[in-house]
Chains A and B, each alone.
Chain A
Amino acid sequence: MNGAMKFRLLCCAVAIAGLGALINAASAADVGPYANLGRDVAANCANCHGTDGRSRAAVPSLAGQDAAVIVQRMKEFRDGRRAATVMQQLSKGYTDAQIEAAAAYFAAQAKQ
């Protein structure tokens, strides 16, 4: 492959990538952020913390807790600053946006 051909291919690749980015941006703008992110991430926690964070056993309830406190705890687990059995390992699987959305969902739930 000669230099000119490489250059043309590169231009093509850049153009296609640019087009792809435009399409992505357009579709993201069409649908907006996923509306149920907090609800869906919070549902992951229900297996141990109870449906909507209302625990029936020794694991703490998250329903009605302050969102900022839940976010703070999760970040402490994630950074290894707070001792835990499973929570350090699990917290590392979530982004800030996911943690914040789930915390807001729990905060909005009735305690009982």
Chain B
Amino acid sequence: MNGRDRAANYSARTTRREFLKAASASFAAAAVGAHSNEARAAAPRVVVVGAGYGGATAAKYIRKWSGGRIEVTVVEREAAFVSCPTSNLVIGGSRQLADITVPFDGLTKWGVRIVRDEALDIDPAARSVKLGGGERLGYERLILSPGVDFIYDDIPSLASPEAQARVLHAWKAGPQTAALRAQLEAMPDGGVFAIHIPKAPFRCPPAPYERACQVAHYFSTRKKKSRIIVLDANEEIQAKKAFFTGAWESLYKGYVDYRPNSALVDVDLATRTLKLDFENVTADVINVVPPQRAGAIARRLGMANANDRFCQVDFLTYESTAQRGIHVLGDAIQVAPLMPKSGHMANQHAKVCAAAVVALLSGEEVNPAPVIANTCYSYVDDKRVGHVTSVHAYDRTQKTMLVVPGSGGLSLTANEEERVFAEAWARNIWADMLM
């Protein structure tokens, strides 16, 4: 069966069944509660866990594309959205956290209900999500966009929350971003900043190298005797290699010492030493980006079925391959070949998923051939930027997303022209998710 047949069958069988189920449930609800709001009772319910690049976008677009016919509740732990993309500039000192923070209020204008809580568990038979505060939210479709959790299993000294609070990851934008900036500011000139990068896959492949540039920007303007050591568990730079090495050579000569094949064995907290396979590196500020896996809620019910870390999905709908009715977006999924774990990508997953969920809950056809794109900007200082792009189309034979031959590319060198586009990207994508 090819992708189109599959999509058509999906639409014909699953949707009709779900559509009837939602309709009969609402009829029952209307019959029981004579005083209930019938229009509200008739609406199918979608619960979204996580209001980042994936979840917020899905919530908005389901409301938009269903013309408000589908009820959407978002469960989110944080009070406001803080963007990971652009957060390295806070570490470099040219932006403040406030510059990359967006309130969730805009979603309520779309009719999205936002519940500030944590999703603890899912009952797939009852189709409900249990929240930390005790509430249970029923759904016809559940969308999980929880981002990543860190894996500390192979870094023994970082097992405790206390140790984790001292050796920052700053890989989720927010308090840790500000804390890493504070550590760099407190470091005397002549000090060393060391960052450790885990083996791929990890969230945002260019980000560790962009961070090295941002710290180098700070040092080269304010702490000229200080140095940066980049310890990469991978055998080479994982994204925009020529672009970043070019920046290190031209802008930051002598500041950045890049060491590939540097797998982390453990950390000595007292001496701030990173213990590697073949050497030990002591620094004044150490930044360990741990290995990652899907956020906890998406690892339940057997959904983390790719190496026990990430969630395999049907790329026509982003429905988990392990659980019907539950969709997974963003960094938590097992990506298709050459698909980066990026905020931009999560936003694009979310729109394919939103279109599919609206179709499935309305008895309509699911898009049989989705196409999505990635555009990712990296800043080498406070004004020079470069990009990487790719376009990914659904392949019916392999049932995955493949890069369209000939599409995509990257900047060879950092330039000021692209800063304008990078800033416009941030403003427009944040609005696309949250306004």
Chain A residues in the interface with B (C-beta under 8 A): 23-24, 27-28, 30-31, 34-37, 39-41, 43-44, 46-51, 55-59, 85-86, 88-90, 92-94, 98
Contacts and interface: CB of A to CB of B under 8 A. Distances in A.
Interface in B11-35: 11
A58 B428 CA distance: 10
B370 A40 contact: yes
A-B interface, 5 closest residue pairs, ranked by CB to CB distance from nearest: A93-B391, A93-B407, A57-B424, A89-B409, A93-B404
B355 A40 contact: yes
Given A35-B365, A44-B351, A51-B435, 15 more contacts: A27-B4, A31-B368, A40-B355, A44-B372, A46-B429, A47-B428, A47-B429, A49-B428, A51-B64, A57-B428, A85-B418, A86-B421, A93-B371, A93-B408, A98-B371
Interface in B380-435: 387, 389-393, 404, 406-409, 411, 417-418, 420-421, 423-425, 427-429, 431-432, 435
Nearest to B377: A86
A47 B348 contact: yes
A55 to B, nearest CB: 6
Interface string B323-343: 000000000000000000000
Given A24-B2, A44-B372, A90 B391 contact: yes
A85 B423 contact: no
B369 interface: yes
A46 B420 CA distance: 17
Interface of B: 2, 4-5, 8, 11, 61, 64-65, 344, 347-348, 351-352, 355, 364-365, 367-373, 375, 387, 389-393, 404, 406-409, 411, 417-418, 420-421, 423-425, 427-429, 431-432, 435
A56 B5 CA distance: 40
Contacts of A92: 391, 404, 406-408
Contacts of B5: 23-24, 27
A93 B402 CA distance: 11
Given A27-B5, A56-B428, A92-B407, A85 B421 contact: yes
Nearest to B345: A47
B343 to A, nearest CB: 9
B317 to A, nearest CB: 13
A5 B405 CA distance: 39
